[in-house]
Amino acid sequence: MPARMGNVIAAGAYRNRIQPPKMIVDAINARPGMIVVEIGCGSGLFIVEVAKAIQPDGHVFAVDIQQGMLDKLQKRMEHEIVTNIKPILADAGGRIPLEDGIADAVFSVAVLPEIPNPTAVLFEIKRLMKDNAVYADAELILDPDFPLRRTMMNWAKQAGLTRTQQIGNCLRYALVFRKE
């Protein structure tokens, strides 16, 4: 998605109603002190809520491929007075510049199907996860790249991740995975 559209997608009560950030907060069981990574943070609709939930001593790494999106995230952080997010410019299809096993949780929202090799990204996500960490993927049927749940579960299985929970329904869902 072009960075100029970042605020349009993340704005308004409609998006909050159909795909609420609380869905991710619940899916990863966000709590104070966690280290969390978002893949494809965009302008920050979801990551800001996660950052608030893990305060005061939790940290979030916000990964996006576009500097323009990270600039929008920075403005949102300033507006909402959130200081525990570190933006990272990186391509999730390659190596994300974070240590192995750094994250208590990793999540993505309507991002994975936009990446040419979703399974490779899931291997990278798995690398970032601590042994007891979770990965949550949230999808919305209004997204032109919407994957069926079975497609997402197949990609995850290929990467050595096992589904442990599902939140939502066939129109909007969050699938939660752990390492096998």
Residue spans per domain, the chain: 3-179
Q: What is the mean pLDDT of residues 121-144?
A: 95
**For residue 8, is pLDDT > 50?**
no
pLDDT tier, 97 (very low <50, low <70, confident <90, very high otherwise): very high
pLDDT score at 16: 65
Superfamily designation of domain 3-179: Vaccinia Virus protein VP39 (3.40.50.150)
**Helix pair angle (45-53, 67-80), 10° resolution:** 50
Work out the angle at residue 126's Cα, subtended by the Cα atoms of residues 150 and 114, and round it to the nearest 5 degrees. 55
Mean pLDDT of the chain: 91
pLDDT score at 44: 94
Residue 46 and residue 38 in contact, taking contact as beta carbons nearer than 8 Å: yes
